[in-house]
C-alpha cells in the first residue's frame, strides 16, 4: 500500500515577509498621478499623425505612428513569433496555440486598472502602442496581413484558437465586430474558433448577441478581481477607473444566456488580496452557472500602479491552481475542501492517491483558458510567461516535466508518494 505524507497546515512561504499568500492589507495599489494635458488621449500621436508602415514593433524611443483598429490590431509577442512576423524563441515551447489580438488606438484604454500595463495613467510616459501588457510587448500589425497569413491554410495552422481582447474605448464594440467579421469571412470558425475577451463596461446584450451572430464561439469577461471590494479598489473608484462589478456580472449572465453552457467564463487574477477561500468560492459559482474560470497569477507589471507589490507566492498560487482544476474539471465541490483560519486550502476534498495522480498528470498547472484541439482541460491560450518569468514559472505553457512536478510538489507542500 502506498501513502503520502500530507500536512494540514500550509508551511511558511516565499512571499513578502515569509508569508505564503498575499494579504489584502499589503496589496494596496498606488494612487494614479495627474496626466499632463499634452499627453492626454494620445494627443501628440494624433497631432504628429505619422502614417504607419506595415508592422510596428514597440519602441519607447520613437513617437508611435497613428494606428487604430479595425485596420490595425496588436498581437502578443508569442503570436507574432508563431505567425512569423517577428524573430525569436520561447523557453520550452515552439509556438503559442492562441492568436491573441488586442484592439489599438492612440488614446488607448480609457480605464485605469491598477495591475494592468495598458492603463490610462501610463499615457503620461508611454505611447499606447509601446506599453507592455502581461509582461510582454505587443507589436501592431495590419489586421488584413494577419488574416492573409492564417487564411492560406487554416487547417494546418499552429493556432487552435483566436481571441479578440476588447479594451475600454468608445469604438471598442464596433471594431470588435469588424475584426471578427474580417476573420470569419475568410477563415472557417470550425477550423480556428474565436473567443471574445470582453469589456462589459460599454456593452449591451445586443452587443453580446452580435458577437455570437458573427461567429464567436466563447465569450469571456475579464472580471480579474475576485471580490467586489477588490474589484472597486483595483478597477473602479479606487483608481479613478469606470468599471463596476455589477455590470461585469450582468454581461456575463447575458453571455451565459446567449452562448450557453461551457461557452462563457471569467478571467480571475489570483493573489491581489483575496483569500483562497474567496477565489475558490467564485470558481464554484462559475461552475454552478455552467461556465469556466481562467486563472492568472498576479505579477507586478512594470509601470502599473501595483508594480511595487509582491508577485503571488507560488505556494498560494499552486494551491488555488490545483483546487480550481478539481472544481472546474473533476467535479470536486468547494464545500468538500477544507480551509484554515486565513482561508488557505488545507484539504482538497479527494483521496490522497487520486490527488497525487492529478498532480503528476500536470495539467492542473498549465495555463488555463479557452480550450484548444487537444482536450477540454488543455487551454489553447497558453500565454507563454504572461504571469511569471521562465525562471519561476506560474502557469506552464508546456506540459510540466518531472523536474517541474518535483518543484510543484514542494510548493504545494505535498511530497512524492512513499512506497
Residues in contact with ligand SF4 by CB under 6 A are 109, 111, 113, 116, 118-119, 167-168, 199, 222, 235
Task: For the CB of residue 400, give the shortest distance to ligand SF4 in the complex, in Å.
Answer: 28
Rg (CA), the chain: 21
Q: From CA 78, how far away is CA 84, in angstroms rounded?
A: 10
For the four alpha carbons of 115, 117, 119 and 122, in that order, the dihedral sign comes to positive
Closer CB to ligand SF4, 97 or 120, in the complex = 120
DSSP string, 150-183: HHT-GGG-S-SEEEEEP-SSTTHHHHHHHHHHHH
- Give 85 or 113: the residue with its C-beta nearer to ligand SF4: 113
Q: Which is nearer to ligand SF4, 235 or 319 (CB)?
A: 235
Secondary structure of 50-118 as H, E, C letters: CCCCCCECCCCCCCCCCCCCCCEEEECHHHHHHHCCCCCCECCECCCCEEEEEECCCCCCCCCCCCCCC
- Rounded Cα distance, 345 and 413, in Å: 11
Nearer to ligand SF4, 235 or 383 (CB): 235
CB closer to ligand SF4, 131 vs 344: 131
Whole-number minimum distance, CB 197 to ligand SF4, in Å?
Answer: 9
Quote the CA–CA distance of 215 and 194 in Å, as a whole number. Answer: 7
What is the nearest approach in angstroms of ligand SF4 to the Cβ of residue 168?
Answer: 5
User: CB of residue 325 vs ligand SF4: minimum separation in angstroms?
Assistant: 24
CB of 369 to ligand SF4, least distance (A): 16
Please state the closest distance from residue 343 (CB atom) to ligand SF4, in A. 25
Pairing relationship of beta strands 72-75 and 140-142 according to DSSP bridges: antiparallel
Comparison of 251 and 326: residue with beta carbon closer to ligand SF4: 251
| Burial (CB count within 10 angstroms: exposed 0-12, middle 13-18, buried 19+), residue 392 | exposed
- Give the nearer residue to ligand SF4 in terms of CB position, either 109 or 408: 109
Is 5 exposed, middle or buried (CB count within 10 Å of its CB: 0-12, 13-18, 19+)? Answer: exposed
Shortest CB 304 distance to ligand SF4, Å: 9
Amino acid at each position: 500500500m502506498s501513502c503520502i505524507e500530507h500536512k494540514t497546515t500550509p508551511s511558511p512561504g516565499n512571499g513578502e515577509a515569509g508569508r505564503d499568500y498575499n494579504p489584502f492589507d499589503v496589496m494596496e495599489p498606488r494612487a494614479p498621478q495627474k496626466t499632463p494635458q499634452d499627453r492626454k488621449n494620445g494627443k501628440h500621436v494624433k497631432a504628429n499623425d505619422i502614417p504607419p508602415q506595415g508592422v510596428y514593433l514597440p519602441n519607447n524611443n520613437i513617437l508611435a505612428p497613428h494606428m487604430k483598429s479595425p485596420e490595425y490590431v496588436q498581437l502578443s509577442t508569442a503570436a507574432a513569433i508563431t505567425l512569423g512576423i517577428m524573430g525569436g524563441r520561447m523557453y520550452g515551447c515552439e509556438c503559442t496555440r492562441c492568436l491573441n489580438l488586442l484592439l489599438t488606438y492612440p488614446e488607448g484604454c480609457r480605464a485605469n486598472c491598477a495591475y494592468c500595463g495598458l492603463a490610462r495613467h501610463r499615457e503620461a510616459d508611454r505611447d499606447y502602442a509601446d506599453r507592455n501588457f502581461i509582461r510582454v510587448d505587443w507589436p501592431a500589425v495590419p489586421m488584413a496581413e494577419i488574416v492573409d497569413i492564417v487564411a492560406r491554410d487554416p487547417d494546418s495552422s499552429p493556432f487552435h484558437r483566436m481571441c479578440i481582447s476588447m479594451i475600454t474605448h468608445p469604438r471598442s464594440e464596433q471594431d470588435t465586430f469588424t475584426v471578427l467579421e474580417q476573420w470569419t469571412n475568410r477563415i472557417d470558425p470550425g477550423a480556428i474558433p474565436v473567443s471574445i475577451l470582453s469589456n462589459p463596461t460599454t456593452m449591451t446584450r445586443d452587443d453580446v448577441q452580435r458577437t455570437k451572430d458573427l461567429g464567436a464561439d466563447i465569450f469571456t469577461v475579464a472580471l480579474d478581481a475576485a471580490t467586489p471590494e477588490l474589484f472597486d479598489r483595483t478597477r473602479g473608484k479606487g483608481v479613478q477607473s469606470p468599471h463596476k462589478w455589477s455590470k461585469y456580472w450582468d454581461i456575463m449572465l447575458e453571455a451565459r444566456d446567449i452562448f450557453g453552457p461551457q461557452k462563457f467564463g471569467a478571467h480571475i487574477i489570483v493573489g491581489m488580496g483575496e483569500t483562497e477561500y474567496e477565489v475558490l468560492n467564485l470558481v464554484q459559482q462559475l461552475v454552478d452557472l455552467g461556465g469556466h474560470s481562467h486563472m492568472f497569477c498576479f505579477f507586478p507589471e512594470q509601470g502599473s500602479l501595483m508594480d511595487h507589490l509582491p508577485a503571488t507566492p507560488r505556494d498560494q498560487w499552486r494551491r488555488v491552481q490545483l483546487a480550481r482544476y478539481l472544481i472546474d474539471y473533476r467535479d470536486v465541490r468547494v464545500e468538500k475542501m477544507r480551509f484554515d483560519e486565513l482561508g488557505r486550502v488545507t484539504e482538497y476534498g479527494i483521496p490522497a492517491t487520486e490527488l497525487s495522480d492529478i498532480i503528476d498528470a500536470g495539467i492542473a498547472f498549465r495555463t488555463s483558458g479557452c480550450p484548444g484541439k487537444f482536450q477540454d482541460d488543455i487551454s489553447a491560450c497558453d500565454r507563454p510567461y504572461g504571469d511569471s518569468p521562465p525562471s519561476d514559472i506560474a502557469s506552464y505553457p508546456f506540459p510540466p516535466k518531472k523536474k517541474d512536478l518535483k518543484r510543484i510538489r514542494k510548493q504545494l507542500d505535498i511530497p512524492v508518494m512513499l512506497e
